[in-house]
Amino acid sequence: MGLVTRPTAQHLDEFRARVRTFIAENAPPFQAREGHRAPVDATQEKQLRTWFAALFEAKLIGADWPVEHGGRADHHPLYDRIVSEEILRARAPRPVDQVNLAAHVLLHFGSDEQKRTYLPAIRRSEHVWCQLLSEPDAGSDIAAVRSRAVRLPDGTWRVDGQKTWITDGHWADMGLALLRTDPAAVRHHGLSVFVVPLSAPGVEVRPIRTIGDAIEVNEVFLTDVRLPAENLIGAEGQGWSIIMAGLDFERFGIGGNVILLELLIDDLLTLARHLQVDGRPAIEVADIRQRIAELAVEVEVAKAFIDDHVEQLINGREQPGDSSIAKLSFAETYHTVAAYGADLASWGTSFQPADSPVAQARQRLRECWLWSRAYTISGGSSEMMRNILAKRRLKLPTT
């Protein structure tokens, strides 16, 4: 399906207004917190699933899917950008990244039966997905995975191994697993992708409490897990190309969260205007004011790249490695801004009440800093992003 005509500025403004109204009327009664995105109890989980299902039902997310699977014939990428921006600006819970990746993989590589089985459950938010990729001895180098899937005489598969740092694994229903199906192959050869129900016998999930005192990631142990033949996605041995395509999609999604950077700057300014340093507002201290200005420029640079990349995508001129640049730019800038904000919050003094906007900004900056390193690792570490850029964009020789 070709790209539809670009919406007019007036039409985009009207769409943005509708999105804001929808969020105000349907978002859960709590704000999103960085590093605390998973539900903390059954009530909050129900509220999140209801919220995500409502977004799908309104075709505010999943609108880029084929029409036969719930998408819109008049979808344009700029609509997705507006929805993402407004959810973030409202500090409403944003859709689970791993669900988006799973849907992307299923739409591009899944069989017709897999699409009929899994895609409706995603849109109804009956299935939350996680990625079963990283392993204790592999980390971001997912080509080094050791977890194995062995085909049995009856055509089913037996899975054994361990995955770690699995975001949302403790409340996910399904997992997208990268497993080695050819033990004789090395690196990215001999890998395949499977659907793993987290409720299957032999699957054990052990939550990991983060430095922010939240459960966001998990260890997942796979012991003699039996999967039917139809749980293989794509062809056997196609796993590397499937996951790389999915991660490219996820990396741009992470970079597309650039609005979070603007919110960080807003919180930093709120704090600096009210925090007392040597008896005066921090914003009046020359070096503090200068540093905030420098960070604001870095945020604008990241945003400018995202804006340019969106235009290139719309016009079919995407360059190799663009998604990695987006991810790297966002993750490193986020960490830098959050780290400075947390540092400023730690040594200035404030006389504002605990529930004041200043206190809330201070708390958010601390939480963002504690979570910021996760962004430099998830979806591929910053080091790996630089390696990808060296090979794909700069065409540098590799050893």
Please give the pLDDT value at position 380. 73
d(CA 259, CA 299): 9
DSSP string computed for 24-59: HHHS-SS---TT--S-SSHHHHHHHHHHHHHHHHTT
Instruction: Give residue 390's pLDDT.
Output: 87
d(CA 15, CA 9): 10
Looking at residue 323, what is its pLDDT? Answer: 75
pLDDT of residue 253: 59
Backbone angles phi, psi at 120, to 5 degrees: -60, -35
Q: Does domain 253-391 have CATH number 3.30.2010.10?
A: no
Nearest to 349 by CA among 279, 284, 290, 283: 279
Distance of CA 58 to the CA centre of its chain: 21
- Residue 163 burial by Cβ neighbours in a 10 Å radius (0-12, 13-18, 19+): buried
The dihedrals phi and psi of 65, each to the nearest 5 degrees, come to -70, 160
CA-closest candidate to residue 157, choices 204, 193, 208, 186: 193
Q: For the chain, which residues make up each domain, given as ranges?
A: 7-94, 127-236, 253-391
pLDDT in tens, the chain (399 residues): 455 788 999 999 999 999 999 999 999 999 999 999 999 999 999 999 999 999 999 999 999 999 999 999 999 888 988 999 999 999 999 999 889 999 999 999 999 999 999 999 999 999 999 999 999 977 667 778 899 999 999 999 999 999 999 999 999 999 999 999 988 887 788 999 999 999 999 999 999 999 889 999 999 999 999 999 999 999 999 999 998 887 666 555 555 678 899 999 999 999 999 988 888 899 999 999 999 999 999 999 988 887 787 777 777 777 777 777 878 888 899 999 999 999 998 876 666 676 788 889 999 999 999 999 888 887 778 888 888 888 888 888 865
Domain covering 127-236, topology? Butyryl-CoA Dehydrogenase, subunit A; domain 2 (2.40.110)
d(CA 399, CA 210): 36
The conformation of residue 306, written as its DSSP 8-state character, comes to: H
Residue 307's pLDDT is: 78
Active-site choice (250, 294, 318, 383): 250
Question: What's the CA gap between 14 and 84, in Å, rounded?
Answer: 16
For strand 191-197 and strand 174-180, is the pairing parallel, antiparallel, or unpaired?
antiparallel
Task: Compute the distance between CA of residue 252 and CA of residue 78 in angstroms, rounded to an integer.
Answer: 14
Q: Is 34 a catalytic residue?
A: no
Q: How far is CA 189 from CA 150, 155, 170, in A?
A: 15, 21, 30
Separation of alpha carbons 17 and 34, rounded Å:
26
DSSP string, 316-346: T-PPTTHHHHHHHHHHHHHHHHHHHHHHHHH
Q: How far apart are the first and last CA of the chain?
A: 40
